[in-house]
């Protein structure tokens, strides 16, 4: 939604219309303070938006059925006067004591049956009919009271679904679990067949017998474990959708939810009912690449709209337990520039003022609990200066859709959770693959399972054990039309019900890959190495050792119990290729090998969005909304070392107006950025050595 957002009654631009800069503010925690003076400070810091309300249920409904939104109305009135926009959060993550006190059945139970206490967040059992009803009521009353306020530019539903808790094993879940199973399997026989419950005499005779995966001696059935997680992911998304629907009855402001990549929810499902995407991400400067993975992902959940970064720290993280190291000077600016340059329309801090009470006393902020600006405030001023430069440069443009896509699959994540194969962590693996992919200099999208694949040239789907028929159909069409699909490690080795395929080792994937899996066993600590593209790499993990049935064997295994079999195959299909990576590269040459793999196939697929940029920096290509020909490059440095970029064509530095010749080395200042307008028609391809060569794009 780079076009204007419908924005209800608000006097402000919509969430997608400008580059916002904001912070979370909790007026309910500062009764000794004048909200006007505080909001004046917020405005003077250069911020344009505050998020309020998301934990204030006990202030809004101190006693059951008695509502008071006056503080929030007052804050919104003042914000409006001062020119500050407001995002309102529904407060359902933190119910008041009267909702759960003395009612263990209304609280979430963990896998050991422990009851979650009042005092933290997300402890209420959202499947409990009474809890659910009170959630609906508070959201309704809040939306009625505040939903048409002219300061309001957006709603945030709840806060970070499942960030502090995972699945609920409490009694209120029982009826919905059975209902979900019935809907999915229709008969208990179907469930038994799908899950292979003949193992260990698990067969069920009725849905009411299907257990929660609480502690049992040994391990539960993989299908039960995976189904349980899917069920909860659908339920929490439904909970968000229900609130969004209520809000829409009383308010025209667009709705979002601040999700996170690591929480126990599926962002792709959650965002289906939201108007725009937002997320929270706290990064430390040594791991800056993690934020790039985040931006590359959140940008793709609603590809026709931009997204918000709703929370990050202006300085460091902290809680009662400890803190992270402080961000080096300049890092927060680089973080914000990266966010805006990779498509975010907002960069917001948690939290405006230091928490004076609670569990997060040491968290980074912009103002101390007394009236003194923090190092975070310095960072905020640097961000604001950069934002003002970026805003006109990015207006009327959007980040180009990347030709290279790495799939972040919630199915893969859930299945690796159920079956971690010696401790594989899906999120960490995908983040590392994304880091290596970005380090080639390519422009990358990290895409959800539902990606249309339009405009993609290379699709990479690692660690995705099950590929649904629908997805395989979509991918096959993409390949036949000229795309390159790199599948694996593990991709295809399980059915969607988390059983082992019985037709072929890699199930439906094998059918279009021109291979046959000869053996499937762990190459873990086996001494096996893979050799491909003049590169050699140690192999590990649960592996599929391949023989050709028409495919070219690009990589073969040396050493280990069965040397000579393939681990990397390539099959021509239509205009494109299916590439199977049957084993997991590891060890010292992991990065080098993956880079060689990605570069080889990107070159073969004629990927154009590929920049010669030093490590620690990256380039984000933007296109104009109204003309295909003009392109802007934002080059950013993250590692604080500064970087350089060899330009693909003649460019103009938009800040200085200086023309820079193609092939000239352009420097990127430490934690700094350059905005470069590429001359129309200056496009390039890689030649066989990987060097950029200018071509006319026709
Ligand atoms: C987020 C949460 C905030 C605050 C922050 C601290 O997960 O949404 O309310 O707790 O973490 O880093």
pLDDT in tens, 69-125: 999 999 999 999 999 999 999 999 999 999 999 999 999 999 999 999 999 999 999
Query: Do the strands 255-256 and 152-156 form a parallel or antiparallel pair, or are they unpaired?
Result: parallel
Nearest CA to ligand 1 atom 4: 350
> Ligand 1 mean position to 317 CA, how many Å?
9
Per the annotation, binding residues are 121, 159
**Radius of gyration over every alpha carbon of the chain, rounded to an integer in angstroms:** 26
- Indicate whether 27 pLDDT > 80: yes
How would residue 8 be classed by pLDDT, with cut points 50, 70 and 90?
low
Produce one character per residue of 440-469: b if its CB has 16 or more CB atoms within 10 Å, e if not: bbbbbbbbbbebebeebbbbbbbbbbbbee
Domains 20-97+135-167+251-394 and 612-696 share a fold: no
Q: Is 94 in the pocket of ligand 1 (CB under 6 A)?
A: no
Q: Which band of pLDDT confidence, cut at 50, 70 and 90, is reported for residue 1?
A: very low
Distance CA 434, CA 291 (A): 11
Residue 161, ligand 1, Cβ within 6 A: no
- Residue 19 in tokens: 């580059």
Question: What does pLDDT average to over the chain?
Answer: 95
282 Cβ inside 6 Å of ligand 1: yes
Q: State whether CATH 2.40.50.1020 applies to domain 20-97+135-167+251-394.
A: no
673 lines ligand 1 (CB under 6 A): no
Closest CA to 493 of 565, 429, 428, 421: 421
Whether ligand 1 lies within 6 angstroms of the CB of 158 is answered as no
Whose C-alpha lies nearest to ligand 1, atom 5? 350
Q: How many A from CA of 152 to the centre of ligand 1? A: 22
CA pair distance 274, 502, nearest whole angstrom: 39
Q: Which atom of ligand 1 is nearest to the CA of 55?
A: 9
Q: Whole-angstrom Cα distance, residue 88 to residue 68? A: 15
Instruction: Give yes or no for a contact between 382 and 349, defined as CB atoms under 8 angstroms apart.
Output: no
- The tens digit of pLDDT for each residue in 333-377 reads 999 999 999 999 999 999 999 999 999 999 999 999 999 999 999
Q: Name which residue sits closest to atom 10 of ligand 1, judged by CA.
A: 360
Give 203's contacts (C-beta < 8 A, 6+ positions apart).
192, 197
Catalytic residue among 38, 54, 61, 311: 311
Distant-in-sequence contacts of 28-32, Cβ < 8 A, 24+ apart: 28/56, 28/59, 28/71, 29/355, 29/356, 29/357, 30/353, 30/356
Nearest Cα residue to atom 3 of ligand 1: 350
pLDDT for residue 497: 98
Distance CA 507, CA 210 (A): 28
For range 8-31, the mean pLDDT = 94
Catalytic residue among 38, 141, 160, 510: 160
Distance 350 CA to ligand 1 centre (A): 7
Domain residues of the chain, as ranges?
A: 20-97+135-167+251-394, 404-604, 612-696
**Would you state the pLDDT for residue 41?**
98
Binding positions for substrate are 121, 159
Atom of ligand 1 nearest to the CA of 260: 7
Ligand 1 centroid, distance to 369 Cα (angstroms): 17
Q: Which atom of ligand 1 is nearest to the CA of 164?
A: 7
> Is pTM, for the whole model, over 0.75?
yes
Q: How many Å lie between the centroid of ligand 1 and the Cα of residue 311?
A: 8
Matching CATH number, 612-696, of 1.20.1560.10, 3.40.1260.10, 2.60.40.1180, 2.30.30.100: 2.60.40.1180
Mean of pLDDT values over 576-581: 98
Is residue 654's pLDDT more than 50?
yes
Q: What are the pLDDT digits (tens) for 460-516? A: 999 999 999 999 999 999 999 999 999 999 999 999 999 999 999 999 999 899 999
Q: What is the mean pLDDT of residues 126-141?
A: 98
Q: Are 520 and 502 in contact (CB under 8 A)?
A: no
Q: Mean pLDDT across the stretch 373-386?
A: 98
- Ligand 1 pocket: which of 280, 308, 322, 358 to mutate (most atoms within 8 A of CB): 280
Sort residue 697 into left (φ over 0), alpha (ψ -120 to 50) or beta.
beta
Active-site residue 454, yes or no?
Answer: no
- pLDDT over 90 percentage in the chain: 91
Fold of 404-604: Rossmann fold (3.40.50)
Q: Decide: 93 in ligand 1 pocket, CB within 6 A.
A: no
Cα(313) to ligand 1 centroid in Å equals: 9
pLDDT at 689: 58
510 is catalytic: no
When mean pLDDT is compared across 263-277, 572-586, 677-691, the lowest value belongs to 677-691
Q: Is 317 in the pocket of ligand 1 (CB under 6 A)?
A: yes
């Amino acid at each position: 939604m780079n076009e204007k957002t419908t924005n209800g009654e608000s006097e402000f631009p919509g969430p997608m219309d400008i580059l916002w800069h904001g912070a979370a503010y909790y007026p309910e925690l500062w009764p000794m303070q004048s909200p006007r003076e505080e909001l004046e400070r917020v405005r003077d810091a250069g911020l344009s938006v505050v998020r309020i309300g998301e934990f204030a249920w006990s202030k809004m409904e101190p006693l059951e059925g008695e509502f008071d939104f006056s503080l929030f109305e007052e804050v919104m009135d003042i914000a409006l006067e001062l020119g500050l926009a407001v995002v309102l959060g529904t407060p359902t993550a933190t119910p008041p004591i009267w909702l759960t006190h003395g009612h263990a059945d209304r609280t979430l139970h963990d896998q050991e049956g422990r009851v979650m206490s009042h005092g933290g967040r997300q402890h209420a059992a959202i499947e409990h009919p009474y809890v659910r009803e009170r959630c609906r009521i508070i959201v309704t009353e809040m939306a009625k009271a505040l939903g048409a306020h002219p300061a309001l530019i957006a709603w945030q539903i709840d806060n970070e679904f499942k960030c502090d808790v995972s699945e609920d094993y409490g009694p209120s879940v029982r009826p919905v679990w059975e209902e979900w199973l019935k809907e999915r399997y229709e008969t208990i026989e179907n469930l038994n067949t799908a899950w292979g419950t003949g193992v260990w005499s698990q067969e069920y005779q009725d849905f009411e017998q299907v257990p929660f995966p609480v502690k049992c001696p040994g391990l539960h059935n993989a299908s039960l474990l995976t189904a349980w997680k899917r069920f909860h992911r659908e339920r929490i998304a439904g909970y968000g959708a229900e609130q969004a629907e209520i809000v829409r009855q009383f308010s025209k402001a667009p709705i979002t939810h601040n999700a996170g990549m690591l929480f126990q929810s599926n962002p792709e499902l959650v965002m289906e009912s939201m108007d725009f995407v937002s997320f929270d991400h706290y990064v430390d400067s040594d791991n800056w690449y993690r934020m790039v993975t985040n931006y590359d992902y959140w940008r793709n959940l609603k590809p026709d709209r931009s997204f918000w970064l709703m929370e990050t720290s202006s300085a460091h993280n902290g809680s009662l337990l400890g803190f992270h190291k402080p961000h080096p000077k300049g890092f927060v600016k680089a973080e914000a520039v990266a966010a805006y340059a990779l498509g975010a329309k907002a960069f917001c801090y948690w939290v405006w003022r230091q928490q004076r009470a609670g569990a997060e006393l040491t968290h980074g902020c912009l103002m101390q609990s007394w009236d003194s600006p923090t190092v975070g405030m310095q960072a905020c001023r640097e961000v604001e200066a950069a934002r003002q430069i970026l805003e006109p440069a990015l207006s009327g443009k959007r980040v180009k859709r990347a030709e290279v896509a790495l799939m972040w699959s919630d199915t893969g994540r859930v299945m690796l959770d159920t079956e971690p194969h010696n401790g594989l962590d899906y999120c960490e693996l995908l983040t590392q693959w994304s880091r290596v992919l970005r380090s080639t200099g390519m422009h990358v999208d990290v895409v959800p399972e539902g990606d249309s694949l339009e405009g993609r040239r290379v699709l990479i789907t690692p660690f995705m054990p099950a590929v649904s028929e629908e997805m395989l159909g979509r991918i096959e069409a993409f390949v036949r039309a000229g795309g390159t699909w790199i599948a694996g490690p593990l991709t295809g080795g399980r059915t969607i019900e988390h059983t082992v395929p019985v037709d072929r080792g890699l199930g439906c994937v094998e059918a279009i890959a021109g291979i046959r899996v000869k053996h499937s066993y762990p190459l873990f600590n086996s001494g096996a190495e893979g050799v491909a593209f003049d590169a050699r790499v140690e192999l590990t993990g649960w592996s599929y050792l391949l023989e050709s049935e028409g495919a070219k064997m690009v990589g073969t295994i040396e050493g280990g119990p069965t040397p000579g079999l393939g681990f990397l195959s390539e099959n021509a299909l239509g205009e494109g290729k299916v590439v199977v990576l049957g084993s997991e590269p590891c060890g010292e040459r992991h990065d080098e090998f993956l880079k060689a793999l990605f570069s080889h196939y990107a070159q073969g697929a004629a990927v154009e969005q590929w920049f010669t940029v030093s490590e620690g920096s990256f380039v984000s290509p933007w296109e104009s909304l109204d003309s295909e020909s003009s392109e802007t490059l934002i080059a950013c440095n993250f590692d604080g070392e500064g970087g350089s970029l060899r330009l693909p064509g003649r460019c103009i530095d938009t800040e200085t107006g200086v023309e820079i010749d193609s092939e000239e080395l352009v420097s990127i200042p430490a934690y700094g950025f350059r905005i470069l307008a590429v001359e129309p028609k200056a496009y390039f391809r890689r030649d066989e050595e990987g060097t950029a060569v200018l071509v006319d794009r026709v």
